[in-house]
Structure 1
Amino acid sequence: MIHDVLPRTARRSRARRASRILLALTATAALLGVDAPDTVAGPPLGVTAWAPPGAAADRVGALFAQGLDGGHFCTAAVVRSDDRDVIATAAHCLESPDTTVFAPGYRDGRAPYGLWRLTGVYVAPEWTEGQDPDADIAFATVAPVDGGRTGRVEDLVGGFPVAAEQPAGARVTVIGYPRTLEAPLRCANSTGLLSPTQRRIGCPDLSGGTSGSPWLVDGALAGVLGGHEGGGTVPEISYSAVMGDRAVELYRRAAVDG
């Protein structure tokens, strides 16, 4: 699919090869559990359809410029974190974090769980310095736009655990918002590796705006739509950078330290 959002310099993260060891720490291990909504039931593999409201779709939302009147341009999803305030998206979706807002569960012009502004951005230096497609996974912390709202976004909709190092042929469910639609689409299919660092999926109609959409394996985040060719140049084939050590370290920083 065609994407036209360009990156900007954001907070840098030191990538550590020891991230798998860090994941063994108690705080982070609790975030990587398998208690997740079922995302397998639905249309046949390779068929794109409307994503019905429910535990999985409500954790996914659209990213808007300024507010609902600004139009949505990317997709993001809530993931588990200590402070219950972290979302995952593509790094190339975070061009303007100061004016970007997140609307989980967005449908038909309504934001049932409110709007959430970005309070911190976690992007790998390989992306900010060179737009490395293998680093096109990012995380951000969020807070309510409405200062009177209490609670955290994960308290409202739950959060996906993170599942790194998935097998080459893993079955993935993608949920995302094309720019021209006002409700999310869903497609599941088996995947393959374009390279050791890039995963591909065949799903029609995942057009511009679905960048940042979560790639879910058994209900856990295993990537986001982006990476190679910005996620793909045609709506039938999409890509995600593999969720490896670099992305896991960003997640750990956002989820535990953020």
Structure 2
Amino acid sequence: MIPRTLPRPAGRPRSRARARRAARILLALTSMAALLSLDLPEAEALPPLGVTVRADADATAARVGALFAGGTDGGHFCTASVVRSAGRDVIATAAHCLGHPDGTVFAPGYRDGGAPYGLWRVTGVFTAPAWTEGEDPDADIAFATVAPADGSVTGNVEDVVGGFPVAAGQPGDVTVTVVGYPSTEEVPLRCANATTLFSATQRRIDCPALSGGTSGSPWLAGGALAGVLGGHEGGGTVPDVSYSAVMGAAALELYREAAA
């Protein structure tokens, strides 16, 4: 028996359903395209590897600051960064930056003459015996505790700006981001690049314009401290090539001592 084909009711409801489904799909695709287009400028804003630019005033830059002798009037001479600790009061820098810690103050997020997160005085210094006894460049990593330098801030520095975790044992070719303050600049500079092992205990990076004052700058691998600018040749004798002592077991033990 041949089935009868009944005429569709007026208005063609199946066509309208298909049209509604097509409209929903088109709306979803349009929304997805809009989201993707919003992400593109952020990706394009990152400079190429090996290019040095001014660091944005973001959460990362807030944890990095300049070191001053006494106060901000005298000019900054090194860079340091806040790292996580039980007391929430520890910074990391190069050991050669803390040879005379009395009167040294730290200004996290320092920019254009201002200290938006206050000034913090150095209250204790942790350096390896290999540095204190012989200034071994492989031990040119130091940690220090800080406290408010005046009444403009209270509490602990990590509560104010947060802190970087510390990550030892990075591969020889790890890509890091360096954030630091040349003594001739009033804003921090930023450069990311792949590193190479200059030796078993020293890491090298090619980044232009990291001149005097950037000693102690954090080398961040995936947002964690993997070294500080220093070590071989005090961190480098030309602005385009910088070094860091490898963050090994001795440096990690030093960090644990300071962080505890």
Same fold (TM over 0.5): yes
Work out which of the residue numbers 165, 169, 175 in structure 2 matches 1:171. 175
Matches within 5 A, 1:58-97: 58-97=62-101
TM-score (norm 2): 0.82
Following superposition, the deviation at residue 147 of structure 1 comes to 4.4
- After superposition, what is the alpha-carbon deviation per residue over 1:158-177, rounded to whole angstroms, capped at 9, x for unaligned? 00000001000000100000
CA distance in 2, matches of 1:43, 1:80: 28
Matches within 5 A, 1:133-144: 133-144=137-148
Q: What is the aligned length?
A: 216
Matches within 5 A, 1:211-222: 211-222=215-226
Work out which of the residue numbers 98, 110, 114 in structure 2 matches 1:110. 114
- Specify which structure has the higher proportion of helix: 2
Question: Which contiguous aligned blocks of 4+ residues in structure 1 show a shift greater than 2 angstroms?
Answer: none
Number of the residue aligned with 1:253: 257
Contact 2:65 2:108 in 1 (8 A): yes
Contact 2:118 2:152 in 1 (8 A): no
Following superposition, the deviation at residue 149 of structure 1 comes to 3.2
CA distance in 1, matches of 2:78, 2:235: 12
TM-score (norm 1): 0.83
2:247 is matched by which residue type in structure 1?
M
Number of the residue aligned with 1:184: 188
- Greater RCO, 1 or 2 (C-alpha within 8 Å, sep 6+): 1
Is 1:226 aligned to residue 248 of structure 2?
no
1:159 is paired with a residue of what secondary structure? coil
* Structure 1, gaps ≥5 residues long: 1-40
Larger radius of gyration: 2
Number of the residue aligned with 2:49: 45
CA distance in 2, matches of 1:42, 1:91: 31
* Structure 2, gaps ≥5 residues long: 1-44
What is the alpha-carbon root mean square deviation over aligned residues? 0.9
CA distance in 1, matches of 2:141, 2:151: 29
